[in-house]
Amino acid sequence: MQASETRLAPEAPASPRLTAMPGGVSPRRALPRGPRTPRLFQSLRYSLWPYASLDISTRRYGDCYTAYPLGGPPMVVFTDPEAIKEIFTSDGAELRAGEAAGPILGPILGWHSILLLDGERHHRERRLMAPPFHGERMHVYGRIMREIADRVVDGWPLGQPFPIHHEMQAITLDIILRAVFGVDEGARFARIRERIVRFLAQADGPAAAFLAIRPFQIELRGLTPWGRFVRDREAIRAELVAEIARRRSEGTEGRTDILSMLVEARDEQGEPMTDAELIDEMFTLLMAGHETTATSLAWVFHHVLDRPDVLAKLRAELGRVVGDGPVEAQHVPQLEYLDAVLKESQRLTPVATNVIRRLTGPMRIAGRDLPAGITVSACIYATHRRPDLWPEPERFDPERFVGARPAPYTFFPFGGGIRRCIGAAFATYEMKIVLAQVLSRVELGSAPGYRMRPVLRTITIAPSGGMPVVAERRR
């Protein structure tokens, strides 16, 4: 056993009790007002109507209110940029992101995931994981992204409705397999892909909205939705164990995939990541990097397909910058309108609605004294729709972002502060490459009769029914 493997595996953190406030005030009475319906109802309402439930609470209670999710502590929700700035810039010892996300993501991603770590363990993991997601590596990954997008588009039926979300999942999954896992074509690729597809398919099922709710995580020997989820996750874990062993035994010379780079990474003490850490980080990149990116792409198509003016500007920019050839690395920074379209889609329909932190001690945020043990939320969805920040907030208007740099406390689809998504640059680059290739290759339109509603999947909010579209070859 390597020395690094002797580190104790983290466990699910115990939920701290709410502490008494100064003057003997009950901690619950010190919380801002909010919905008083039962916890089960509040969680079910969010699971079934995620965006609408936030709209209702924000209209009723304003820019600060308390929600009571099932199986967790009270959550104080903020939409004011000054409060969000305090949350993102506060000492990580006072506001714990890992502890807050643990009850939701721990059973899904594994307790070694960077999303669940706090303090020095989080800093160490972030330092080890950051290099593959920046710099010249993007150019290597860009070629892979373009090739995969072209291959998937070549298989699309013409003149018949098909779910664009599923096709974006196919693209982003193959990108994960090649660029992140380092698995190329062949029997091994097909076997691993089949197991991952079966695992991810549960996010499309009727129970998807409840998989991340702790009371519904009952195995019953694989007979329940959660039991099947765990069984399929273990099958992928076995494949990852084999891939890591192969990298350690054969070496990684000449390889450019992220898994190989993480196998070779060393911390300040010269210690590598353990197998358990590598496996949980691969699950994190799979679930966060695959599902969130595919869903973000599906939302872009939802917004632009019924806007011929936006499509015309996108294609004019692609013609001016890229021309008749494929999109290359040097083109991506010049696609300013495409970038604005992507940002406006993320503003209106973020795939995650809240950034949450757990208070380790009493704290004052936005002039409010809050007790230890609660969670606080910087609400992405509601902040992105504040009319004082975004005139006509319900309108899809990419021009808001053309030539403008949004403030980090009014626009934060990837979170903020030291916990901002480590793969944000990779995901943004990938979405631009895929969108450029699709828009250059085919004409798309919404499927006749389709009516979209936002649905909560396991960890993302997506357009319903896979967002069906109809494709025609570009003339």
Instruction: Give the annotated binding-site residues for heme.
Output: 421
- Looking at the DSSP bridge assignments, the partners of residue 219 are none
C-alpha angle with apex 281: 276 to 282, nearest 5 degrees? 100
Q: Which residues lie below 8 Å from residue 297, measured CB to CB, with a gap of 6+? A: 164, 168, 171, 172, 431, 434, 435
Instruction: List the end-to-end C-alpha distance of the chain, in Å, as a whole number.
Output: 61
Question: Which of these, 293, 352, 13, lies nearest to 167 by C-alpha position?
Answer: 293
How many Cβ atoms are within 10 Å of 314's Cβ, its own excluded?
A: 23
CA atoms within 13 A on the CB side of 233: 22
Residue 406 dihedral angles phi and psi, to the nearest 5°:
-65, 150
C-alpha span between 284 and 279 (Å, rounded) = 9
CA dihedral 138, 117, 235, 212 (to 10 degrees): -100
Tokens at residue 368, please? 């409010």
C-alpha span between 335 and 432 (Å, rounded) = 8
Question: Which of these, 461, 437, 462, 451, lies nearest to 156 by C-alpha position?
Answer: 437
